[in-house]
């Protein structure tokens, strides 16, 4: 990997680092000589990963929805490794497949709390350490930030919010030397992707695409994009290769909303996820 030498000796904090994309990123970074702080609420899985990676990794119990939990975990990680150079805000959940009319408001809010507020907590808790070392933050968003999200509106709204948060941070931190990147991924072969595909409007949309576009990519592929992005301090990270086309075509894609609303298979998915709304 080009620029891999820049990763040696770096201290990288990863939220949602116990499994999926986060775990693959940790493995690759340790392989390139980095030290990693794995933040997760699933400590049993996180500790197994640490056992695999050895002394270059340490696990910290953290709940991204709690600012107090994040400040405590980030302080402990900085103390353990002598500071922080890079933060990967990766923790996320898919949430239920249901329309706005049908979804439990608490479950919808939970997605926002993890996927958007969690990124805010992560950045806010780590900035005191990153400023002094002119560090780098990579927030993991999704192609969901720019495409319609029928029956998974909480996830899509959160990812669009992450994109706006990143843009705000770039302006706020422009004079500090801290760089901010964002990762846009299509479906990645993780538990979250399986939850997203099963019975949701996103699954219906993907079923209509050519197989090469609708097939989830391996978590290791997404992790390589993140690792490469860290080495380059990239503003934008993508995987697979067709994702930047959709990102750049977001304006005309908005025009497809009306077509999707009357698409028979989409209507069926929405109907199945909906409930009768009183008149």
| 205-231 pLDDT tens trace | 666 666 666 678 899 999 999 999 999
Q: Which pLDDT tens digit goes with each residue over 93-150? A: 988 888 999 999 999 999 999 999 999 999 999 999 999 999 999 999 998 888 877 8
Q: Which pLDDT tens digit goes with each residue over 245-273? A: 888 887 676 667 677 778 888 778 777 87
Taking the C-alpha atoms of residue 193 and residue 142, their distance in angstroms, rounded to an integer, is 11
Q: Judge whether 109 and 155 are in contact, CB under 8 Å.
A: no
Given a cut of 80, whether residue 172 has pLDDT beyond it is yes
When pLDDT is averaged across residues 2-11 and rounded to a whole number, the result is 89
Q: Which pLDDT tens digit goes with each residue over 138-152? A: 999 998 888 877 888
Taking the C-alpha atoms of residue 226 and residue 238, their distance in angstroms, rounded to an integer, is 8
Residue-level pLDDT at 194: 67
**pLDDT band at 198, cuts 50/70/90?**
low
Residue-level pLDDT at 279: 42
Residue-level pLDDT at 277: 46
Residue-level pLDDT at 278: 47
Prediction pTM value? 0.88
In order of their start, the domains of the chain are 3-276 (3.40.50.720)
Q: If we measure between CA atoms, which residue out of 20, 21, 124 comes closest to residue 66?
A: 124
Active-site annotation holds for 155: yes
Residue-level pLDDT at 268: 82
Q: Which pLDDT tens digit goes with each residue over 50-93? A: 999 999 999 999 999 999 999 999 999 999 999 999 999 999 99
Q: Judge whether 87 and 122 are in contact, CB under 8 Å.
A: yes
Taking the C-alpha atoms of residue 207 and residue 258, their distance in angstroms, rounded to an integer, is 19
- Angle between the 219-232 and 20-31 helix axes, to the nearest 10 degrees? 50
136, 155, 184, 238: the active-site residue: 155
Residue-level pLDDT at 257: 64
Given a cut of 50, whether residue 7 has pLDDT beyond it is yes
**Phi and psi for 184 in degrees, rounded to 5?**
-110, 115
Residue-level pLDDT at 134: 96
- Residue of higher predicted confidence among 278 and 252: 252
Given a cut of 90, whether residue 1 has pLDDT beyond it is no
DSSP bridge partners of 184: 238
Given a cut of 70, whether residue 13 has pLDDT beyond it is yes
């Amino acid at each position: 990997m080009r620029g891999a030498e820049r990763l040696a000796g770096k201290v990288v904090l990863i939220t949602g680092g116990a499994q999926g994309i986060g775990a693959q990123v940790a493995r690759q970074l340790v392989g390139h000589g980095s030290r990693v702080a794995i933040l997760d609420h699933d400590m049993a899985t996180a500790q197994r990963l640490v056992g695999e990676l050895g002394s270059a990794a340490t696990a910290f119990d953290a709940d991204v929805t709690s600012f107090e939990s994040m400040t405590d975990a980030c302080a402990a990680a900085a103390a353990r490794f002598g500071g922080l150079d890079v933060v990967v805000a990766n923790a996320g959940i898919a949430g239920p497949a249901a329309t706005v009319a049908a979804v439990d408001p608490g479950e919808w809010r939970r997605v926002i709390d993890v996927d958007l507020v969690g990124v805010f907590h992560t950045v806010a808790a780590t900035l005191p350490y990153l400023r002094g070392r002119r560090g780098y933050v990579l927030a993991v968003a999704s192609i969901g930030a720019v495409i319609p999200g029928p029956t998974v509106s909480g996830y899509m709204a959160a990812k669009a919010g992450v994109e706006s948060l990143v843009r705000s941070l770039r302006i706020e931190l422009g004079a500090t030397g801290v760089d901010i990147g964002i990762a846009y991924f299509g479906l990645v072969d993780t538990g979250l992707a399986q939850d997203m595909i099963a019975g949701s409007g996103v699954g219906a949309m993907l079923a209509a695409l050519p197989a090469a576009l609708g097939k989830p990519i391996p978590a290791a592929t997404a992790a390589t994009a993140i690792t490469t992005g860290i080495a380059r301090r990239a503003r934008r990270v993508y995987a697979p290769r067709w994702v930047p086309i959709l990102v750049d075509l977001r304006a005309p894609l908005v025009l497809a909303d009306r077509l999707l609303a009357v698409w028979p298979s989409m209507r069926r998915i929405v109907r199945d996820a909906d409930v009768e709304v009183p008149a």
